[in-house]
Amino acid sequence: MLFSSNYKNTNPLIIIFLIGILFSSFYAIYNINKFDKNENGRHLMIRGDTSLIWREANSFKKDLNKNQNFFGNGMEYTRTFLPSKMIAFYSLLSGHDLFEDSKSTIIKVGGKLPFLLFQIIIYYLSLIFLYKKILFLYDNKNISFCIILYLALDPNIIQWHGTFWTESIFISLQIFLVGMIISKNKTNLFCLSLGLFLGLIFLQKTVGILFILFIIFFIFFSESENKKLKVASIFLGFSLVLCFLGFDNFKKTGIFYIMPTQTKMAHYNVLIVQIYKEKNDLNTFKKIKKSEEEWKIENSYSEDNFESLYNLRKFQQTKAIEAILNNKIITIKIYLKKIINHSLLNPLQTYYWHKYNQQEYAETEFHQSKESKKYKIFKILYSLIFYIILLIGFVRTIKDKKNFKFHLLLLFLVAYLIFMLGWVGNSRYYIPSIIFLSIFVGHGIDYISKLRYKN
């Protein structure tokens, strides 16, 4: 075993945390020093989804300074809610502006490192919380250590703390959630707070919207007393957060809505073109796009009017669902292909993303580069090691009848995340699944660590 049966592993755990914090901090500092800059008016780190978060944050900050009122401020809710609010409050507290110009086009350089360090602190606090909870879950205490060891040091996970993507805070919230799930004393008040926390997870990343369904099933079939009241308490807490979000959206737009508009257009913009390319039937795809233009004319569409934009997104969502249902086999094939890419671990993804945003690589995308071909071999080997350990751990958990429901919950959550995000084919969206799979990885590491003693 990694440690003796009397389990004196507090000091090694401290060392593991220090190594993880130092590595995460050095990587964050490296990113800031090398990539916190603008080239040709485009920032190397704040780009894509994060640039929208920055604009939303700046808009919210300006309105908050004017109105001194939280509700109804900022841009319309189109992707995620919480990340932009956190950036805005960080800017207010630190005194660092987000943009250099009044039109919010040039990202302000400097002042970003403390936010990344904040993400690192939150993550390792979540690991401490999980460790304290999970110690009482397994008879073999070494398993608890192995789970935390993996979460604290895996580069594939901790790389996200050195970036401004939404993954870092989200996976920290996931870890807190796992700790809450395995807490023994689940009072009605605790379940209310669990519902509120599930709402917070949704505000950070919209894919968390249905976590609550899996959690309430687990609570209902695991608790022996007041199970209906506990489930109701979870729903109440979650509903309060949704009402808060809906009211804020109503104040901005006059429409009470929960899901961001991006969720209504994602499949339409990305998936259906792949479906008709696979069918060699681009004429049908062109007809769908033509029907969109006709809809705009018939409904006097204006992109400056949010209600008009919202209705367009609903139209696009309907068309996407029709295309998927009419092409089920092809859609499944595309899903399976994308899930393979989705499930391939990518421990240097953030580094290469930043690197290839630089002007010197403007003519070359990373996936087309020679460097990418060499790196792919490394990714495959890295993933192979991960899945071997995961499989060993999964086989071991089958024998653990006491925690069967908990392990089953984790597998359902992973299946849900893969279904919701796997079709994009991006390794970045696999990170939340890995957090839940870490429990099985910890079991695998524990088993492998014992082999040296058996031999």
Domain residues of the chain, as ranges?
Answer: 185-256, 262-342
What phi and psi, each to the nearest 5 degrees, are found at residue 181? Answer: -60, -40
Q: What is the pLDDT of residue 4?
A: 44
Residue 292: name the closest of 280, 304, 301 by CA.
301
Query: Token match 């060993």: residue?
Result: 392
Q: In this model, does residue 455 exceed pLDDT 60?
A: no
Q: What is the pLDDT of residue 365?
A: 82
Residue 345 φ/ψ region, left for φ over 0, alpha for ψ in the -120 to 50 degree band, beta for the rest: beta
Strand pairing category for 42-43 and 38-39: antiparallel
Please give the Cα distance from 190 to 180 (Å, whole number): 9
Residue 57: name the closest of 18, 16, 115 by CA.
115
Tell me what the pLDDT averaged over the chain comes to: 93
Q: Which two tokens stand for residue 68?
A: 């001194």
Q: What is the pLDDT of residue 5?
A: 43
Please give the Cα distance from 397 to 9 (Å, whole number): 23
Q: Which two tokens stand for residue 124?
A: 């390792």
What phi and psi, each to the nearest 5 degrees, are found at residue 273? Answer: -65, -35
Please state, in angstroms and as integers, the Cα–Cα distance from residue 335 to each residue in 211, 278, 434, following that order: 21, 12, 19
> Do 122 and 90 touch, CB atoms closer than 8 A?
no
Q: Which two tokens stand for residue 320?
A: 């996407």
Q: What is the pLDDT of residue 454?
A: 61
Q: Which two tokens stand for residue 434?
A: 């890995």
Helix (H, G, I), strand (E, B) or coil at 151: helix
Containing 39, the helix (H) or strand (E) segment is: strand 38-39
Which residues, listed in sequence order, are joined to residue 99 by a DSSP beta bridge? 107
Please give the Cα distance from 308 to 300 (Å, whole number): 8
Q: Length of the chain, please?
A: 455
pLDDT tens digits, residue range 183-238?
Answer: 988 999 999 999 999 999 999 999 999 999 999 999 999 988 899 999 999 999 99
Percent of the chain that is helix, strand, coil (3-state, to 5): 75, 0, 25
pLDDT tens digits, residue range 347-359?
Answer: 999 999 999 999 9
pLDDT tens digits, residue range 318-367?
Answer: 999 999 999 999 999 999 999 999 999 999 999 999 999 999 988 788 88
Which residues, listed in sequence order, are joined to residue 38 by a DSSP beta bridge? 43
